[in-house]
Structure 1
Amino acid sequence: MPQTSQNLFQAEKLEQLRTIVVQVLELGPDELTETSHFVNDHDADSLLALEILARIELDLGVSIPQEDLPEMVTLTAVHDVVARNAGWEIPNA
């Protein structure tokens, strides 16, 4: 199945987010899955969650309301929140 431009775009953004989360949580690249829970699986706390949020805003230029922070507990959830706030939906070409 060929990759669409939407899929490639989403994969690129997911990798950018993975890099941020891995750095903030001080994990090895293979320790973070798309569904591993930051608190339960990686001992993250609220300060680390705020640091992830701040790094996303700084590195990607996306403004995320702090009310969305409780949703951001896995890499997939972070991607969904950031995509929603960044308008990353691109039309099918």
Structure 2
Amino acid sequence: MNKLVSKEEHLSLIKQIVSDILEIEPAEMTPESLFKEDHDADSLRAIEILASLEKAFGVEIPQEALARMVNLQGVYQVVQEAAGWES
């Protein structure tokens, strides 16, 4: 039986990936906290996040999507679109 992965499970994995790359505790990040302003992320980290998400979810994310990947909500939306998840 194939179990569907919930939005919460996807968000949890995305949050873990992003917090590992930004070297912060997942609890320090909210869905709205900004990676650059609140967590000192630079463009290299943003590319690392993009590459890690592509690998974790088996999707291809265009570089232009980086502009929308400023917080967890944005990242989730970009991955959701790339993966074709239901909202």
Count of residue correspondences: 85
Divergent runs of 4+, >3 A: none
CA distance in 2 between partners of 1:15 and 1:57 (Å)? 16
Q: TM-score, normalised by structure 2?
A: 0.91
RMSD (Å) for aligned C-alpha atoms: 1.7
Pairwise mapping of residues 47-62 of structure 1 onto structure 2 (< 5 A)?
47-62=44-59
RCO higher in structure (CA 8 A, sep ≥6): 1
- Equivalent residues of 2:32, 2:71 under 8 A apart: yes
CA distance in 1 between partners of 2:24 and 2:59 (Å)? 23
- Cα distance, 1:57 vs. partner? 0.6
Q: TM-score, normalised by structure 1?
A: 0.85
SS in 1 for 2:27: coil
Aligned AA for 1:71? R
Rg: which structure is higher?
A: 1
Give the percent of matched residue pairs that are identical in Structure 1 and Structure 2.
49
What are structure 2's unaligned runs of at least 5 residues? none
- The alignment status of 1:38 with 2:35, answered yes or no, reads yes
Candidates 12, 17, 24, aligned match of 1:15: 12
What are structure 1's unaligned runs of at least 5 residues? 1-5
